[in-house]
Structure 1
Amino acid sequence: MNFSWVSTYWPLLAAGAVQTVLLLVISVVFGFILAIGLALAQINGPRGLKWLARSYCTCLRGTPLLIQLWLLYYGVGSLLPLVPGLRSSFLWPVLREGFFFAAVSFTLNYAAYEAEVLRGALLAVPKGEIEAARAFGMSRAKVLRRIWLPRSIRIALPTIAGEIVLQLKATPLAFTVTVMDLYAVAYKVRQDTLLVYEPLIVVTVFYVFLTLLVTRAFKIVEAQVSIRR
C-alpha cells in the first residue's frame, strides 16, 4: 500500500470533502423543507394538489437518481444558455456549474423519499393528541407547528437518519457532472498515479466517518427527546 501521494493531493482531498459535505447539507436541508409540504399536501391537500404531490413522489422514487441528474444537467442545462440575458446576468456563474444541478437534483430526489417518511409519521401521530390540542382552542396552523409536526418528526427520527446516510452514499454521482467531490478527486489521483485501491480506501474511510457522525448525532437527539418525554 502506497499513501505517499496524500501529502501532494491533500488540498484537493480537503476541497473534495467540502464539496461532498455541502451537497449533503444543501440537499438534506432544502429537501426536508420541501418534503414537509409534499407530505402535508398528500394528507390534507385538495384533490388536485394531493394528486400532484403523490405523482411527484412516485416518479422521483421510481427513477434512478443518475437519470434525474443527467436530465437536469444535459437537458435543462443545455437550454439555459438560450434564455435571453441569462449568460450576462449575475446568476450565470452559479447556473453554469455542475454543482448547481447536482444540488437541485439531490434535493428534489431526497424530498420525494423524505415526504413518504413524513407522511407515514404524520399519520402515525395519535389522533387524540391532535383533538386535545384543538379542544384547547389551538388553530390548525398552531396544532401543526406545536403538536403534529414535532411529534411526527420524533417518530420518524430513526428513518430520517437512515435516509441521510443513503443520501450521503449517493453524493459520488455528482462526479458524473464534473463536480470535484471527494470521489472525483480519488478518480484524478488514480489517473495521475495509477494507484487504484489507496484512493478508494481514503474515500471509504471518509464516508464511514461521516456515517458514524450522522448516526451518533441522531442517537443523541433521540436520547434527548426520550428524556423530555
Structure 2
Amino acid sequence: MDFSWIFSYWPLIAAGAVQTVLLLVISVGFGFILAIGLALAQVTGPRWLKLLARGYCTCLRGTPLLIQLWLLYYGVGSLLPMIPGLRASFLWPILREGFFFAAVSFTLNYAAYEAEVLRGALLAVPKGELEAGRSFGMSSWTLLRRIWLPRAIRIALPTIAGEVVLQLKATPLAFTVTVMDLYAVAYKVRQDTLLVYEPLMVVTVFYVCLTLIITRAFRIVEAQVPVRR
C-alpha cells in the first residue's frame, strides 16, 4: 500500500471534500424545505394539488438520479446559452458549472423522497393533539407551526437520518457532470499514479466518518426531543 501521494494531493482532496459536503448541505437543506410543501400539498391540498405533488414524487422516485442529473446537465444546460443576454449576466458563472446542475438535481430528488416520509409522519400525528390545538383557538397556520409539523418531524427523525446518509452516498454521481468532488479527486489520483485501491480507501474512510457524524448528530437531536406515543 502506497499513501505517499496524499502529501501531494491533499489540497485537491480538501477541496473535493468541501464540494461533497456542500452538495450534501445544499440538497438536504433546500430539499427539506421543498419536501414540507410537497407533503402538505398531499395531505391538506385540494385534489388537483394533491395529484400534482403525488405525480412529482412518483416520477422523481421512480427514475434513477443519474438520468435526472444528465437530463438537467445535458438537456437544460445545453439550452441555457440560447437565452439572450444570459451569457453576459452575473448568473452565467454559476449556471455554466456542473455543480449548479448537480445541486438542483440532488435537491429535487431528495425532496421527492423526503416528502413521502413527511407525508406519512403528518398522518401519524395523533388527531387528539390537533383537536386540542384547535380547541385553544389556534389558526391553521399556528397549529401547523407549533404542533403538527414539529410533531411530524420528531416522528420522522430516524427515517430522515437514513435519507441524509443515502443522499451522502449519492454525491459521487456529481463526478459525471465535471464536478470535482472527492470521488473525482480519487479518479484523478488513479489516472496520475495508477493506484486504484488507495484513493478509494481514502474516499471510503471520509464517507464512513461523515456518516458517523450525521448519525451521531441525529441521535443527539432524538434524545433532546423524544417522541411521545
Taking only aligned residues, the RMSD between alpha carbons, in angstroms, comes to 1.1
Structure 2 CA distance for aligned equivalents of residues 31 and 178 of structure 1: 22
Q: Secondary structure at the match of 2:225?
A: helix
Pairs within 5 Å for 1:125-136 = 125-136=125-136
Percent of residue pairs bearing the same amino acid type = 86
Give the aligned residue type for 1:120.
G
Give the aligned residue type for 1:15.
A
User: What's the CA shift string for 1:8-48, capped at 9, x where partnerless?
Assistant: 00000000000000000000000000000000000111111
- How far residue 226 of structure 1 moved from its aligned partner, in angstroms, is 2.3
- How far residue 228 of structure 1 moved from its aligned partner, in angstroms, is 9.8
User: What's the CA shift string for 1:120-157, capped at 9, x where partnerless?
Assistant: 00000000000000000000000000000000000000
Structure 1 CA distance for aligned equivalents of residues 65 and 210 of structure 2: 21
Unaligned ranges ≥5, structure 1: none
* Stretches (4+) displaced over 3 A: none
Give the aligned residue type for 1:13.
I
Number of matched pairs: 229
Match of 1:29? Answer: 29
**In the alignment, structure 1 residue 78 sits paired with structure 2 residue 90:** no
Structure 1 CA distance for aligned equivalents of residues 103 and 226 of structure 2: 34
Match of 1:119? Answer: 119
Match of 2:4? Answer: 4
Match of 1:103? Answer: 103
Match of 1:66? Answer: 66
Give the TM-score normalised by the residue count of structure 2.
0.99
Match of 1:177? Answer: 177
Match of 2:145? Answer: 145
Alpha-carbon contact 2:154-2:227 (below 8 Å) kept? no
Structure 1 CA distance for aligned equivalents of residues 215 and 155 of structure 2: 16
Structure 1 CA distance for aligned equivalents of residues 202 and 32 of structure 2: 30
Unaligned ranges ≥5, structure 2: none
**In the alignment, structure 1 residue 226 sits paired with structure 2 residue 215:** no
Match of 1:50? Answer: 50
